[in-house]
Amino acid sequence: MKASVTKGLGQGFVVEEVDLAAPVGHEVRVEVKASGLCHSDLSVATFIGGEFPVVLGHEVAGVVTEIGPQVTQVKVGDHVVGSLIQYCGACVNCLSGRTYICSNPEATLRGADGGSRISWNGAPVAQGMGLGGFAQETLVHENQLAVVPSEMPWAPAALIGCGVLTGAGAVLNSANVQQGETVVVIGAGGVGMNAVSGARLAGAGQIIVTDIEDAKLDRAKAFGATHVVNSRGTDPVEAVREITGGGADHVFDFVGARPVTAQGFQMLGRGGGLYLIGVGAMDAGVEVSALVALSSSQKVQGVYMGSSNLKRDIPYYASMYLQGRMNLDDLVSREIALGEIDAGYESLKDGKTARVVITDLS
């Protein structure tokens, strides 16, 4: 089969003929139908690094074609969406419903003596995040797959696996936003838009979006923002304090730059929470005055993958989409072929493109 292989830092994405092993244990063979280009894979390929050569791609949707002997949760023909959340299902965190912080995620992978799932010219190839979605086919542990209705279109389905779980999950799971509460979304990118959708589903009273580009803010309005603030021309802290009448209940930071996150904390009202999701720089973070935080009962929380339970949340977002209650179509700005990943990432820089999805896997 064909896969896009990243051979080293800065070496891009090159289509090669590779071999995929037969499924063992809980592994599921999936014919990939759509694979989204998430920024994190570009970071791995350009500056974070890891094991090379590697097949990246972690926003993946496709059809189950074969199952390992121990698989019970999916069957051949099922339409599935993958997630990078790897969980064992047996540790204390998994058993308390917090699979996103499983203490034994390696349980979803082959052991050292299990052989590689992917090989190229007889040598092992790493599989990004247990998914390796930049390929015609992939082999995934059943715990990393959720079944979606067959009428769900492929490109929006793929986006659910990372950007939607992260953005909407931050609002619905991590912050547990209640009806009428006020929400601020800092950064109107592909993930932030799903936080806007999540805030609508939660019945938030005000959804304020800040960005530094008017085109992004126009899109935010189309997704359901009640107020938008361009923080290049307006002080976003003052604007949020004025709109909310004193400060917001929940602020979601999808940017992750120290001055921006500091502003996010200043936007909080009494009892408010700041959620850290984006990491725009290695030193991203925030300093918090204990006196301010305690006297106003405020909190700061890091959010991994929207505190999501993928088996529950992926089908939920698919059904919200199918009912017309969640906009995913406007996130799919461009569809490309497997061999066009480098150009696809390049086009994400133009300021207008939300997400690029591989749908031509021929």
- Residue 358: name the closest of 34, 40, 14 by CA: 34
Torsion of CA 223, 39, 272, 268, to 10 degrees: -80
Applying CB under 5 A, which part among 99-107, 184-192, 275-283, 321-329 lies near Zn ion? 99-107
Structure tokens at 32: 């990939």
Helix 214-223 and helix 192-202: axis angle, to 10°?
30
Residue 303 three-state SS: coil
d(CA 307, CA 198): 13
149 CB-near residues (< 8 Å, 6+ apart): 79, 315, 318, 319, 322
Q: Tell me which DSSP letter residue 21 carries.
A: P
**What's the residue count for the chain?**
362
What burial class does residue 221 get, using C-beta atoms within 10 Å of its C-beta: 0-12 exposed, 13-18 middle, 19+ buried? middle
Q: Among 196, 248, 305, 341, indicate the residue that binds ligand NAD (CB under 6 A).
A: 305
Applying CB under 6 A, which part among 9-17, 46-54, 102-110, 182-190 lies near ligand NAD? 182-190
Q: What is the DSSP string of 119-160?
A: EETTEEEEEGGGT--SBSEEEEEGGGEEEE-TTS-HHHHHHI
If one asks whether residue 160 binds Zn ion (CB under 5 A), the answer comes out as no
Beta carbon of residue 189, minimum distance to ligand NAD (angstroms, whole number): 2
If one asks whether residue 300 binds ligand NAD (CB under 6 A), the answer comes out as no
d(CA 263, CA 278): 14
If one asks whether residue 162 binds ligand NAD (CB under 6 A), the answer comes out as yes
Residue 327 three-state SS: coil
Residues in binding contact with Zn ion, number by CB under 5 A: 9
Given the complex with ligand NAD, which of 136 and 307 has the nearer CB atom?
307
Given the complex with Zn ion, which of 94 and 195 has the nearer CB atom?
94
Question: Which residues inside 187-246 make contact with ligand NAD, applying CB under 6 A?
Answer: 187-192, 210-213, 216, 231
Backbone angles phi, psi at 25, to 5 degrees: 50, -120
Q: Among 94, 146, 209, 277, indicate the residue that binds Zn ion (CB under 5 A).
A: 94
Residue 185's binding partner, choosing from ligand NAD, Zn ion, none, with beta-carbon cut-off 5 to 8 A by kind? none
Residue 2's binding partner, choosing from Zn ion, ligand NAD, none, with beta-carbon cut-off 5 to 8 A by kind? none
Question: Which residues inside 20-79 make contact with Zn ion, applying CB under 5 A?
Answer: 38, 40
Given the complex with Zn ion, which of 152 and 162 has the nearer CB atom?
162
Scan for tokens 């973070």, then name that residue: 285
Beta carbon of residue 111, minimum distance to ligand NAD (angstroms, whole number): 27
Given the complex with ligand NAD, which of 132 and 278 has the nearer CB atom?
278
Q: Pattern of binders to ligand NAD over 253-292, x per CB under 6 A?
A: -xxx---x----------------xxxx------------
Residue 199's binding partner, choosing from Zn ion, ligand NAD, none, with beta-carbon cut-off 5 to 8 A by kind? none
95 CB-near residues (< 8 Å, 6+ apart): none
Characterize the bridge pairing of strands 54-55 and 123-127: parallel
If one asks whether residue 354 binds Zn ion (CB under 5 A), the answer comes out as no
Residues lying near Zn ion in the complex (CB under 5 A) are found at 38, 40, 87-88, 91, 94, 102, 104, 162
Can you give the binding site for ligand NAD, defined by CB under 6 A? 39-40, 162, 166, 186-192, 210-213, 216, 231, 254-256, 260, 277-280, 303-305
